[in-house]
Amino acid sequence: MLMGLKDKRQVEKNKSFFQSVRHAIAGICRLILEERNFRFDLIISAVVLILGFIFKINLNDWLWLFAAFFAVIGSEVLNTIVENVVDLIVGPHYNDLAKRAKDIGAGGVLLSALFATIIGCLIFIPRIVSLIK
């Protein structure tokens, strides 16, 4: 007997769009509750959003900021997936390929965070400098 049938957990495809949405929301909640870096990314995004309102940035700048937010958050999600799948496969044992996969995933997050930092600097530094003058 399949384990999914034995313990009443879903193993088949979602039956409706709303069921898919519920699972997606559960995944986001799990990220918020279990992933420290994801929470950090959300906090930094909130601070930058507040700065955007304070400095009354234009629509084009908002578009760049949201591209940066979702690049970082999206790469954080993908990195979490990589880490979980690698842990599922190798368990508590050390494996060079597992380390490589995790390091590359973390590198992707770092690159997207660098992108976001550059975008933030391009948008906010000129405003801060003009405020100081």
The answer to whether the annotation marks 7 as part of a ligand binding site is no
The answer to whether the annotation marks 103 as part of a ligand binding site is yes
User: Which residues are catalytic, by number?
Assistant: 76
State the pTM of this model.
Answer: 0.84
* Predicted pLDDT of residue 1: 41
Burial of 106 (0-12, 13-18, 19+ CB in 10 A): middle
Give, for all 133 residues of the chain, the pLDDT tens digit.
455 556 678 778 888 999 899 999 999 999 999 999 999 999 999 999 999 999 999 999 999 999 999 999 999 999 999 999 999 999 999 999 999 999 999 999 999 999 999 999 999 999 999 999 8
Cα 124 from Cα 131, distance rounded (Å): 10
What stretches of 22-133 adopt beta strand conformation (E)? Answer: none
CB-side exposure of 90: number of CA atoms within 13 Å? 16
The answer to whether the annotation marks 83 as part of a ligand binding site is yes
Q: Per the structure block, which two tokens stand in for 65?
A: 């900021």
Cα 42 from Cα 45, distance rounded (Å): 5
Q: Which domains does the chain have, with CATH numbers?
A: 16-132 (1.10.287.3610)
